């Protein structure tokens, strides 16, 4: 029954797609009001970051820039999407406290708003990936189409993590800081700056890291590699169990959120 209430909340939130897409778009516009480049400032800064890290880390790891830069660019841009959804999702209910207290809306609408906003930003940053693939001459071929279901899976997993952390953060205000710390650690132990094969005997660091498989199902198709069955299985399993947990907590605590925030 509790899970059904949470699932119904998600369905109601999806039906109000005009509202959360508008709120997400307005948030982006307000952030970059009177700016000539708008959200493309993020693209510029991200592009400079990718190029700088590609030159430095490619040299340190002894990898040719032509091979290393595509792997790095895709990994960093995709990680930015994932981490921002989870990070901002932990504050979603807290930042939307005025709406929650004054207007009766489904709870997960604020989580979908966060995911949508960061997908729009990802759309801008995707220019970096296209530029790197073009200049390095890398063509993923037909396998690159698997990028789309991979991206959907990554967003689904990031969104349930955002929903989960959003509820916990509404109750315990220290939790967003914990999420930030965990994401920083996860960035360095997930194969983004490096290939898992470089770990040698310590490849278990990547092997037992579920985020490795989430990154792989998005990045590998664009590099012309077919993601393994285990990558798809783990990503799908995480999404299934994760959303069940969100449905349960949302159904159980949705009426308490206005009091917590």
Could you write out the three-class secondary structure of 66-88? HHHHHHHHHHHHHHHHHHHHHHH
DSSP 32: T
Give the ranges where the chain is alpha helix by DSSP (H). 2-15, 17-31, 40-61, 65-89, 92-95, 97-102, 109-136, 147-171, 175-189, 204-207, 210-222, 229-253, 257-260
What is the distance, to the nearest Å, from the Cα of residue 158 to the centroid of all Cα atoms in its chain? 5
Structure confidence by residue, pLDDT tens digits, 66-80: 888 999 999 999 999
pTM to 2 decimal places: 0.93
The total number of structural domains in the chain stands at 1
Q: In whole angstroms, give the CA distance from residue 113 to residue 131.
A: 28
Residue pair 106/16 in contact by the 8 Å Cβ criterion = yes
Provide the pLDDT for residue 34. 64
Provide the pLDDT for residue 171. 92
Structure confidence by residue, pLDDT tens digits, 74-120: 999 999 999 999 999 999 999 988 888 888 889 999 999 999 999 99
The backbone region for 224, taken as left when phi is positive above 0, alpha when psi lies in -120 to 50, beta otherwise, is left
CA dihedral 92, 95, 101, 107 (to 10 degrees): -10
Provide the pLDDT for residue 161. 97
Residue pair 75/215 in contact by the 8 Å Cβ criterion = yes
Q: In whole angstroms, give the CA distance from residue 112 to residue 14.
A: 8
Name residues of the chain where pLDDT drops below 70.
32-39, 140
Lookup result for tokens 């897409």:
21
Residue pair 42/121 in contact by the 8 Å Cβ criterion = yes
- Its domain, for residue 205, covers 2-30+39-260
């Amino acid at each position: 029954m509790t899970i059904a209430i949470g699932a119904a909340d998600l369905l109601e939130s999806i039906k109000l797609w005009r509202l959360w897409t508008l709120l997400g778009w307005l948030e982006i516009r307000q952030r970059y009001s009177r700016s000539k480049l708008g959200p493309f400032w993020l693209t510029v800064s991200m592009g400079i970051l990718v190029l700088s890290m590609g030159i430095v880390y490619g040299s340190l790891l002894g990898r040719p820039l032509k091979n290393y830069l595509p792997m790095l660019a895709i990994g960093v841009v995709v990680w930015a999407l994932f981490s921002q959804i989870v990070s901002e999702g932990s504050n979603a209910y807290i930042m939307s406290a005025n709406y929650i207290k004054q207007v009766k809306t489904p709870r997960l609408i604020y989580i979908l708003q966060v995911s949508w906003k960061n997908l729009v930003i990802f759309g801008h940053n995707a220019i970096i990936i296209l530029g790197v693939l073009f200049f390095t001459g890398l063509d993923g071929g037909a396998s690159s189409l698997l990028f789309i279901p991979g991206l959907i899976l990554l967003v689904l997993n990031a969104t349930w993590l955002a929903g989960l952390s959003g509820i916990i953060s509404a109750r315990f205000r220290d939790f967003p800081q914990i999420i930030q710390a965990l994401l920083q650690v996860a960035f360095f132990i997930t194969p983004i700056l490096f290939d898992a094969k470089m770990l040698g005997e310590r490849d278990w660091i990547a092997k037992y890291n579920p985020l490795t498989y989430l990154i792989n199902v998005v990045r590998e198709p664009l590099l012309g590699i077919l993601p393994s069955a285990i990558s798809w299985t783990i990503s799908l399993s995480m999404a299934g169990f994760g959303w069940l947990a969100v449905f349960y907590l949302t159904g159980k605590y949705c009426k308490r959120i206005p009091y917590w925030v």
